[in-house]
């Protein structure tokens, strides 16, 4: 049990350090991409992670800034509110594509007059926007893995409790067995003593029967002697 808790604590320490480190390992850079048959300028980053988790987290992240329409991994926001980027609504068009386990997230920020590109005034805010997502998706991955780890821990704890309960039950059964054995041994000893006493009683009874038979014979002879002594009187 203590070892399981230790493993979980180590996992939490590791998971807590993943997001900051990941933000450094997943740089954001300028990129161009054709979306819906139109070339777009924007920013992109790549993450080695489950595609469905990245898509779900990206859509959830975008919804913080307004209404999101999604179709075939293309996410569109007509009036995104991103104060750090612009005090006016921003049109956001983004995609998530997966290739050999790596998800690439591309996002174009249309300010109405131009796209946010490297060197433009809103680039730092757009870069921060992407980096915030990177942290969020790693946090989502951490939480998902944590749920799996906690579920495994709970199952291990239940397994341990089951084995402990079984062990306690076995100990009680063992104690009952010892008590039953002791009772049987006591009864066997009592039975042995009773058998020995019965042998003695039978022997004593035989001697008593012999003595009683001898006494009966003596009394019979005494009766005969009395009859013989007074035979002259006549039969009674």
Nearest of 65, 71, 5, 76 to residue 40 by alpha carbon: 76
Residue 55 falls inside a structural domain: yes
Would you say residue 33 has pLDDT above 70? yes
Confidence of residue 19 (pLDDT cuts 50, 70, 90): very low
Residue 59 and residue 21 in contact, taking contact as beta carbons nearer than 8 Å: no
Q: Greater confidence, 226 or 177?
A: 177
Share of the chain above pLDDT 70, in %: 89
Q: For 51-57, which contacts have Cβ atoms below 8 Å and span 24 or more sequence positions? A: 51/96, 51/98, 51/103, 53/137, 53/140, 53/141, 53/144, 54/96, 54/98, 54/103, 54/105, 54/137, 55/96, 56/140, 57/133, 57/136, 57/137, 57/140
Residue 228 falls inside a structural domain: no
Count of all residues that appear for the chain in the document = 236
Q: What is the mean pLDDT of residues 175-200?
A: 95
Nearest of 49, 61, 27 to residue 103 by alpha carbon: 49
- Please name the helix (run of DSSP H) or strand (run of DSSP E) that holds residue 175, with its range, or none: helix 123-229
Would you say residue 22 has pLDDT above 60? no
Q: Considering its fold, how many domains does the chain have in total?
A: 1
Would you say residue 23 has pLDDT above 70? no
Residue 165 falls inside a structural domain: no
Residue 143: the pLDDT is 95
pLDDT tens digits, 107-152 = 999 998 899 999 898 999 999 999 999 999 999 999 999 999 999 9
Give CA separation, 54 vs 36, 48, 85, 173, 183, in Å: 21, 9, 23, 54, 69
Residue 15: the pLDDT is 46
Residue 185 falls inside a structural domain: no
pLDDT tens digits, 216-233 = 999 999 988 888 888 888
What's the CATH code of the domain at 48? 3.30.310
Would you say residue 62 has pLDDT above 90? yes
Residue 168 falls inside a structural domain: no
pLDDT tens digits, 209-218 = 999 999 999 9
Nearest of 141, 163, 143, 144 to residue 49 by alpha carbon: 141
Confidence of residue 26 (pLDDT cuts 50, 70, 90): confident
Residue 210 falls inside a structural domain: no
Residue 187: the pLDDT is 96
Which structural domain range is residue 101 located in?
A: 2-150
């Amino acid at each position: 049990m203590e070892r399981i808790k230790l493993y979980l604590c180590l996992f939490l320490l590791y998971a807590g350090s993943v997001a900051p480190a990941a933000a450094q390992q997943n740089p954001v850079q300028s990129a161009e991409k054709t979306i819906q048959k139109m070339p777009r300028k924007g920013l992109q980053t790549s993450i080695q992670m489950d595609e469905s988790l990245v898509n779900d987290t990206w859509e959830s992240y975008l919804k913080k800034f307004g209404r999101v329409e999604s179709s075939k991994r293309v996410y569109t926001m007509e009036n995104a509110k991103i104060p750090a980027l612009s005090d006016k609504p921003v049109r956001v068009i983004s995609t998530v594509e997966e290739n050999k386990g790596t998800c690439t997230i591309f996002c174009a920020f249309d300010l109405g007059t131009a796209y946010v590109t490297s060197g433009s005034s809103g680039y730092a805010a757009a870069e921060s926007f992407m980096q915030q997502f990177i942290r969020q998706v790693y946090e989502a991955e951490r939480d998902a893995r944590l749920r799996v780890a906690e579920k495994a821990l709970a199952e291990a704890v239940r397994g341990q409790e089951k084995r402990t309960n079984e062990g306690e039950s076995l100990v009680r059964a063992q104690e009952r067995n010892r008590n039953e054995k002791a009772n049987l041994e006591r009864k066997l000893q009592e039975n042995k003593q009773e058998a020995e006493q019965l042998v003695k009683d039978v022997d004593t009874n035989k001697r008593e029967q012999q003595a009683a038979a001898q006494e009966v014979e003596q009394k019979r002879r005494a009766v005969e002697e009395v009859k013989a002594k007074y035979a002259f009187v006549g039969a009674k």
